[in-house]
């Protein structure tokens, strides 16, 4: 079947991502990098008119035929089916569908197709939710083995209205969730502007399909090479694979993160420069496995700096170890309340992000 729709759409997303990055460069003259970005965007726009063939052996030809027969029996018109394997041995289906008569929910369709293929499918983010006579794109992916809950607590310097910290929590293809915390240097509107710009561009690149490391490298170089980009931004990012429970930390000038589990609290440290200081600077990366019931705790430097101790990381670990709350939101609020005890005036912006991970059991 023709898989033209999905392939063209992804190429256009890449082209738009490059044009957005090019627009980071302001102020009259264009640099060599901005020209390269513009040319890359134009190239992708040109070739997006061509068919790009993608195939996967994750389902057999017999299963493909059975799928087509099932759709036909339900009076479903198929404009295109794309079979993907975003993670090894995990299926994703991207389909352009319409229905001659009646309608069916995407959830019911996912259950029916999954039962036929012997897989537990769910409706992916960004998919249409109801199949009717109007053609639309439906995305079905395998259910993950873990589920996440997210909580956050924040406070601006001196209880001001605007914080220099910005954060993001997003799901992307391949069963991954990305938690990001950007801290603009300084406080108030200027710091907020820098961190907001960085987070928005990071989200766009990740949604377009860039890897986490590639997106950070591109943004770091763009902000470092552009004199008008403003102050550097510290970036703390964790990519969680909801299929196998692994976590990848990416740090650029960020303070340590903490992992709270049954065996205590682990510290994830870094020593790299903030984003936008030097083009081509390294990104600290740390990979680890997570267990059922673990919590990932990320924070801006204002939280740790508020602790009047020589070994701030040790004191924070003790605070986290003493927390009995189990919901991520309650944990984030508890940490911030503990810090208030030492810094009631709030000398810097403070943000705490907590992500809990749990194994999905049969019946959940």
Q: What is the pLDDT of residues 297-335, one digit of tens each?
A: 999 988 998 898 889 999 999 999 999 999 999 999 999
Backbone φ/ψ region at 153: left (φ over 0), alpha (ψ -120 to 50), beta: beta
Q: What is the DSSP string of 115-176?
A: HHHTS-EEEPTT--SEE-SS-EEEEEEEPPSEEEEEEEEEE-GGG-S--SEEEEEEEETTTE
Write the DSSP symbol of residue 275.
B
pLDDT tens track for 109-143:
999 999 999 999 999 888 899 999 999 999 999 99
Which of 222-236, 287-301, 302-316 comes out lowest in average pLDDT?
A: 222-236
Distance (Å, rounded) from C-alpha 253 to C-alpha 232? 9
Q: What is the mean pLDDT of the chain?
A: 83
Which of 159-173, 220-234, 266-280, 305-319 comes out lowest in average pLDDT?
A: 220-234
Residue 29 clears pLDDT 60, i.e. is over it: no
Residue 287: predicted pLDDT: 95
Distance (Å, rounded) from C-alpha 90 to C-alpha 73? 26
pTM, 2 dp: 0.80
Domain locations in the chain?
4-47, 61-142, 146-359
Residue 113: predicted pLDDT: 95
Residue 1: predicted pLDDT: 41
Residue 44: predicted pLDDT: 65
Distance (Å, rounded) from C-alpha 275 to C-alpha 75? 53
The answer to whether the CB of 255 falls within 8 A of the CB of 272 is no
Most confidently modeled range among 80-94, 221-235, 263-277:
263-277
Mapping DSSP to helix (H, G, I), strand (E, B) and coil, where does residue 87 land? strand
Residue 210 clears pLDDT 80, i.e. is over it: no
Residue 236 clears pLDDT 50, i.e. is over it: yes
Residue 52: predicted pLDDT: 33
Give the confidence band of 17 by pLDDT, cuts at 50, 70, 90.
confident
Give the confidence band of 364 by pLDDT, cuts at 50, 70, 90.
low
Task: Reply yes or no on domain 146-359 having CATH 3.40.50.300.
Answer: no
Residue 164: predicted pLDDT: 81
The number of beta carbons lying within 10 Å of the beta carbon of residue 236 is 28
| Distant-in-sequence, close-in-space partners of 110: CB < 8 Å, separation ≥ 6 | 121, 122, 123, 140
Residue 45: predicted pLDDT: 64
Distance (Å, rounded) from C-alpha 252 to C-alpha 257? 12
Residue 46: predicted pLDDT: 52
Residue 7: predicted pLDDT: 52
To 10 degrees, the CA torsion angle through 303, 224, 191, 213? Answer: -50
Residue 71: predicted pLDDT: 92
Exposed (0-12), middle (13-18) or buried (19+): which is 48, by Cβ within 10 Å?
Answer: middle
Exposed (0-12), middle (13-18) or buried (19+): which is 136, by Cβ within 10 Å?
Answer: middle
Residue 76 clears pLDDT 60, i.e. is over it: yes
Residue 126: predicted pLDDT: 80
Residue 64 main-chain phi, psi, to 5 deg: -60, -40
Residue 330: predicted pLDDT: 97
Residue 360 clears pLDDT 70, i.e. is over it: yes
Q: Which helix (H) or strand (E) holds 286?
A: strand 284-289
pLDDT: which is higher, 25 or 30: 25
| % of the chain residues with pLDDT over 90 | 45
């Amino acid at each position: 079947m023709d898989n033209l729709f999905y392939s063209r759409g992804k190429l256009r997303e890449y082209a738009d991502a490059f044009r957005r990055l090019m627009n980071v460069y302001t102020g009259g003259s264009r640099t060599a990098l901005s020209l390269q970005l513009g040319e890359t965007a134009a190239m992708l726009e040109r070739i997006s008119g061509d068919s790009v063939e993608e195939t996967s052996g994750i389902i057999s030809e017999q299963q493909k035929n059975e799928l087509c027969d099932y759709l036909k029996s339900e009076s479903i018109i198929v404009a295109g089916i794309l079979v993907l394997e975003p993670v090894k041995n995990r299926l994703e289906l991207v389909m352009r569908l319409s229905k001659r008569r009646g309608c069916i929910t995407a959830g019911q369709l996912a259950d029916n197709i999954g039962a036929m293929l012997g897989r537990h499918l769910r409706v992916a983010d960004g998919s249409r939710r109801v199949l009717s006579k109007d053609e639309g794109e439906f995305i079905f992916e395998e259910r993950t083995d873990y589920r996440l809950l997210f909580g956050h607590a924040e406070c601006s310097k001196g209880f001001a209205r605007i914080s220099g910290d910005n954060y993001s929590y997003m799901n992307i293809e391949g069963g991954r969730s990305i938690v990001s915390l950007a801290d603009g240097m300084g406080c108030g509107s200027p710091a907020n502007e820098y961190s907001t710009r960085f987070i928005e561009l990071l989200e766009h690149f990740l949604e377009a399909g860039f890897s986490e490391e590639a997106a950070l490298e591109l943004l770091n170089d763009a902000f470092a090479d552009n004199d008008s980009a403003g102050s550097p931004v510290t970036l703390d990012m964790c990519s969680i694979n909801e299929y196998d429970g692994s976590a990848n930390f990416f740090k650029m000038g960020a303070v340590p993160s903490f992992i709270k589990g049954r065996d205590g609290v682990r510290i994830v440290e870094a020593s790299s420069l903030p984003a936008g200081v030097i083009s081509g600077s390294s990104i600290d990366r740390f990979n680890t496995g997570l267990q059922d019931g673990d919590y990932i705790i990320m924070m801006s430097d204002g939280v740790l700096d508020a602790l009047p101790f020589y070994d701030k990381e040790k004191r924070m670990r003790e605070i986290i170890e003493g927390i009995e709350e189990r919901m991520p939101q309650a944990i984030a609020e508890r940490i911030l309340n503990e810090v208030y005890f030492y810094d009631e005036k709030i000398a810097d912006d403070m943000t705490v992000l907590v992500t809990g991970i749990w194994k999905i059991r049969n019946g959940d």
